[in-house]
Structures are given as structure tokens and as C-alpha cells.
């Protein structure tokens, strides 16, 4: 059987793998169930992907790519548009990806975070890091040239945290529905558009205030303690050193 003439078996395997890994996570998912849903022989996973591990990586990569194709990272906003509009585009993309019930991207990642395998570390870094950099570039432009990388990072963390609330609520809603619990507890008459507008407005107001404090000298980074944290970016990359800067706080009686 030639791989170029597989009658769509490889595609069906990827599709069913996305579904099963999103539902059960890597450890509870079985090759047998993935193949059964795909209508494929149980040996097909090794034939097309080499292993369950490799299939897991490709399933998440496909879910991520499909999510970005549907909701581009820039939100469809032109690169020459004002920074405020480009920030809104970035926020819109994140929230819409989080909110899409058809997306397996975050279901797979949620289960990976809950029960880590380490298999997604490398592909996650390669695919997500450009998105973080894109958001950071817009924030840096809005904060002005006097802003430090640490201040840009803090603003980025604040924005992403607001977006993650929507992800948490969607995943909790799924759990309640699956358990036939009171999903009405999470009933909200707030549209995705309204959330996008609020997070954008709130974030821009915060960034403007931070910029004002930076430029007036009210906000300055004095002495910082640098903590060296060993971390494995991926199984292949080995151990790397990450530095986390912590601003010194003065306590008052």
C-alpha cells in the first residue's frame, strides 16, 4: 500500500486522533480507539506516523493550524493599521480561538497541562512563541520607547489572563454539560464581540496609564533580583536557563 494512495486514511487518523486526545488526553487515549473511529487497521498509526507519540504531536499541530486558519493571529487587521486596532485584532483572535467549541487545540493542551507528557514542548514553543512575540510587539509600540521588556511582559500577561477567563468558562461549561450538571449556573448573555470590546478597552486604558507613569518617572524599575530557573524546553533541546526578573518591593509599617 503506497502512502500516496491511502484513500484518506492518514487524514482520517489525524481527525480521529484530534477528537480522542481532546476528549481523553494522551495517557487515556488508545491507538485502538483512534483507529476504530478512523476506520483504519490498528497498524496504520505506526505505518503513517511511527508511534502514538508522533501522532499526538501531529494531532495538536493540526488542531493549532486549523484554529489559526479560522482565526488568524492578527485578527484580520492590516499591518499598517493603528496599534490600537492591531491590539484589538490580536485579542479578538485569542478569545475567538478560546471560545470555539469545535476547536480541539485547547482541549488537548488543557489535558497535557493537567497530566504532562513533555511530547508537545518543542512543537508548542515553535508555534506559540511567534504569537506571543506578535502581541508583545504591539504592546511595546503602545507603551513607547521608554518601556522595558519586563513592563511589556507584564502587560502581555495581564491581557492574556483576561482572555483565559473565557477559556476557563467554556471548558467548565463543557464539563457541566458532560456531567449533566447545572450548566445554567454559567448562563451568560455576553457575546464574544462584547467580551472582545471590553478586554480591548480595559487593556488599552491600562497600557495608557502605564505609559503615562513610565514617561512621568512614576514607574521605574529599580534594583531587580534575577532568579535562575532550570527548565526543559523540549526533550531534544535539553535544559535551558530562564531568567525571571522580580521587581524589588519596599514594605511599609
Specify whether 142 is located in the same domain as 173. yes
Does residue 30 fall inside a structural domain?
yes
What's the CATH number where 18 sits?
1.10.10.60
> Does residue 240 belong to any structural domain of this protein?
no
In a shared domain, residues 134 and 193 = yes
Measured between alpha carbons, how far is residue 241 from residues 48, 98, 231, 237 in Å? 36, 30, 6, 12
Q: What is the DSSP letter of 73?
A: T
- Based on the structure, what is the number of domains in the chain? 2
pTM: 0.78
Q: Is residue 91 assigned to a domain?
A: yes
The pLDDT tens digits for 77-97 are 999 999 999 999 999 999 999
C-alpha 150/C-alpha 51 separation (Å) is 41
Those residues whose C-beta lies under 8 Å from the C-beta of residue 31, and which sit 6 or more positions away, are: 42, 45, 52, 55
pLDDT digits (tens, 9 = 90+) for 5-55: 567 999 999 999 999 999 999 999 999 999 999 999 999 999 999 999 999
Amino acid at each position: 500500500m503506497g502512502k500516496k494512495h491511502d484513500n484518506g486514511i492518514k487524514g482520517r487518523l489525524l481527525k480521529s486522533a484530534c477528537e480522542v486526545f481532546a476528549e481523553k488526553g494522551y495517557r487515556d487515549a488508545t491507538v485502538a480507539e483512534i483507529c476504530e473511529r478512523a476506520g483504519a487497521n490498528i497498524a496504520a498509526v505506526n505505518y503513517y506516523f511511527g508511534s502514538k507519540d508522533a501522532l499526538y504531536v501531529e494531532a495538536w499541530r493540526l488542531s493549532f493550524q486549523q484554529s489559526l486558519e479560522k482565526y488568524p493571529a492578527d485578527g484580520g487587521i492590516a499591518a499598517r493599521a493603528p496599534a490600537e486596532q492591531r491590539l484589538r485584532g490580536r485579542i479578538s483572535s485569542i478569545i475567538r480561538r478560546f471560545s470555539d467549541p469545535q476547536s480541539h487545540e485547547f482541549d488537548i493542551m488543557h489535558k497535557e497541562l493537567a497530566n504532562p507528557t513533555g511530547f508537545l514542548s518543542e512543537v508548542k514553543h515553535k508555534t506559540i512563541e511567534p504569537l506571543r512575540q506578535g502581541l508583545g510587539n504591539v504592546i511595546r509600540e503602545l507603551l513607547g520607547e521608554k518601556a522595558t521588556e519586563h513592563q511589556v511582559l507584564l502587560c502581555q500577561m495581564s491581557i492574556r489572563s483576561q482572555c483565559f477567563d473565557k477559556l476557563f468558562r467554556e471548558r467548565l461549561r463543557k464539563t457541566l454539560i458532560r456531567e449533566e450538571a447545572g450548566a445554567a449556573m454559567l448562563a451568560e448573555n455576553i457575546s464574544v464581540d462584547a467580551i472582545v470590546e471590553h478586554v480591548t478597552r480595559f487593556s488599552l486604558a491600562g497600557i495608557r496609564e502605564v505609559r503615562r507613569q513610565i514617561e512621568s518617572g512614576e514607574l521605574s524599575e529599580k534594583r531587580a533580583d534575577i532568579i535562575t530557573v532550570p527548565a526543559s524546553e523540549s526533550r531534544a533541546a535539553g535544559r535551558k536557563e530562564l531568567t525571571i526578573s522580580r521587581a524589588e518591593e519596599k514594605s511599609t509599617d
